[in-house]
């Protein structure tokens, strides 16, 4: 089940909210969220609900033992056990097949590759529970004694499948006590409608067009224009797709009084690759910074080694395939270059030039991300640079661009902080007087309704509705 499915939009989520507000006690409301979250997870993989329950139970008790342990040696052993178990689960389900395939590259080894179905969202909830246990070990957070709150923290369906990765300390107080106002619920509905439209109207359209152009079977007739158009559409799709999920997760949390941190900050406005990664999937970047980079020594000891390890792990986290490792190392090169070369220049390059350089670096990076087969990725590079393209422009590519030029302009505008400008305009109008304020609310109500109707129509009439990050 995905947020952009009609089943979720018109049955699951309304039912959840109805049950949630049926009674006002925190125990009832937490219980509703737990039951609905487990149902949401079990919808796709009922067997793996046992895994997430076991993960919650193990880490709940280990965190309590870590906090109660007075001896540093015992504390370290328990923390090591927690990390080993969590990464062991992740490694077994996500990387066993990849490890065997890699071994099979050795000429004299031919092992059967196991077909292990990966639990949805395991990369996200593993990092989430790891951050909780490590924070308890460091003394930066208290162990939760109520198992139901630990279970709720780990299984919340809002962000279980694709983030943002939340820290326990960010929501600990709200899991115990929270209030929800009509204003909060309405603000959540507004953001959910915007996120749904971003997914249904923008991401899905970009993705369908990108897949038509970037399909390796179509390489024989792909022009330079077609290659550039395809990878640009994928760059837009992955941003709209993932940020839309985060928008909807944050919105649903807001409706029930839970405040998750932002996960995207208009990354395509960045003036460097380093800045791009401060704005893109911010919860993942902060996890690797706080739990890998800084503990290894950060900038103080072996900064290049630490950076290399972080980006190799970042790539591997995204998928059990060598293209993701190469993708991670690709970003290591750019960020190391910016950190150790560009940052030391007395005269900085012009901002416009840096922005163009950043966009090109990111777009080329998406080529490595899109194709799990490295040979296909380099095949597209050949098309982009005109080395193996059939021509600069083909009638098919020109027609695709012509038919979608207005959509592309709209999609590019949507990458800008339009919502911030609209909120500022709303504030200024509402401050003029009572009637202006009522007019602004009526317009917002109509816009939300329009976005929901357009999104529903698009989802009902189109079967193309993937969530890219579900596979991670």
Supply the residues annotated as catalytic: 318
Is 375 in a helix, a strand, or coil?
helix
Please give the radius of gyration of the chain, using alpha carbons only, rounded to the nearest integer: 24
Structure tokens at 211: 């897949």
C-beta neighbour count of 159 within 10 angstroms: 25
How much of the chain is helix, strand and coil, in % rounded to 5?
A: 75, 0, 25
SS3 222: coil
User: Is the CB of residue 154 less than 8 Å from the CB of residue 129?
Assistant: yes
Nearest to 383 by CA among 221, 161, 142: 221
Please give the Cα distance from 29 to 41 (Å, whole number).
Answer: 18
Q: Cα(178)–Cα(233) distance, rounded to whole angstroms?
A: 41
Residue 335's alpha-carbon distances to 70, 311, 316, 339, 364, in angstroms, are 41, 10, 17, 6, 15
DSSP states along 78-101: HHHHHHHHHHHHHHHHHHHHHHHH
CB 327 within 8 A of CB 365: yes
């Amino acid at each position: 089940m995905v947020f952009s499915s009609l089943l979720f939009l018109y049955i699951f989520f309304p039912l959840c909210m109805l049950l949630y507000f049926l009674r006002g006690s925190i125990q009832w409301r937490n219980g509703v969220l737990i039951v609905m979250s487990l149902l949401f997870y079990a919808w796709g993989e009922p067997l793996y609900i046992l895994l997430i329950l076991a993960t919650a139970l193990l880490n709940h008790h280990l965190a309590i033992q870590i906090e109660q342990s007075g001896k540093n040696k015992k504390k370290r052993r328990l923390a090591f056990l927690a990390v080993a178990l969590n990464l062991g689960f992740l490694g077994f389900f996500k990387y066993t097949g990849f490890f065997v395939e890699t071994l099979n590259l050795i000429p004299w080894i031919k092992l059967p590759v196991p077909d292990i179905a990966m639990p949805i969202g395991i990369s996200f909830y593993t990092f989430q529970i790891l951050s909780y246990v490590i924070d308890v070990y460091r003394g930066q957070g208290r162990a939760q004694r109520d198992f139901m709150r630990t279970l709720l923290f780990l299984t919340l369906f809002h962000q279980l499948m694709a983030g943002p990765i939340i820290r326990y300390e960010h929501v600990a107080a709200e899991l115990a006590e929270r209030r929800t106002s009509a204003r909060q619920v309405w603000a959540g509905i507004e953001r959910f409608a915007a996120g749904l439209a971003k997914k249904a109207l923008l991401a899905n359209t970009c993705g369908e067009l990108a897949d038509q152009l970037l399909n390796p079977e179509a390489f024989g007739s792909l022009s330079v224009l077609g290659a550039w158009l395809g990878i640009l559409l994928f760059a837009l799709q992955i941003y709209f797709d993932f940020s839309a999920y985060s928008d909807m997760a944050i919105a649903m949390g807001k409706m029930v009084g839970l405040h998750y941190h932002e996960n995207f900050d208009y990354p395509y406005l960045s003036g460097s690759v380093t800045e791009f990664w401060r704005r893109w999937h911010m919860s993942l970047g902060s996890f690797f910074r706080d739990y890998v980079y800084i503990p290894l020594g950060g900038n103080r000891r072996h900064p290049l080694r630490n950076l290399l390890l972080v980006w190799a792990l970042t790539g591997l986290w995204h998928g059990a395939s060598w293209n993701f490792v190469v993708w991670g190392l690709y970003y290591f090169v750019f960020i190391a270059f910016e950190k150790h070369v560009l940052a030391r220049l007395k005269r900085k390059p012009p901002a416009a030039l840096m922005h163009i350089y950043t966009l090109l670096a990111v777009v080329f990076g998406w080529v490595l991300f899109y194709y799990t087969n490295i040979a296909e990725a380099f095949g597209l590079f050949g098309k982009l640079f005109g080395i193996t393209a059939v021509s600069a422009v083909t009638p098919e590519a020109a027609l695709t661009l012509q038919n979608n030029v207005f959509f592309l302009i709209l999609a590019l505008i949507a990458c800008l902080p339009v919502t911030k400008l609209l909120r500022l305009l709303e504030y200024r109008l509402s401050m003029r007087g009572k009637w202006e304020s009522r007019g602004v609310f009526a317009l917002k109500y109509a816009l939300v309704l329009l976005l929901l109707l357009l999104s529903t129509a698009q989802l009902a009439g189109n079967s193309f509705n993937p969530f890219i990050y579900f596979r991670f």
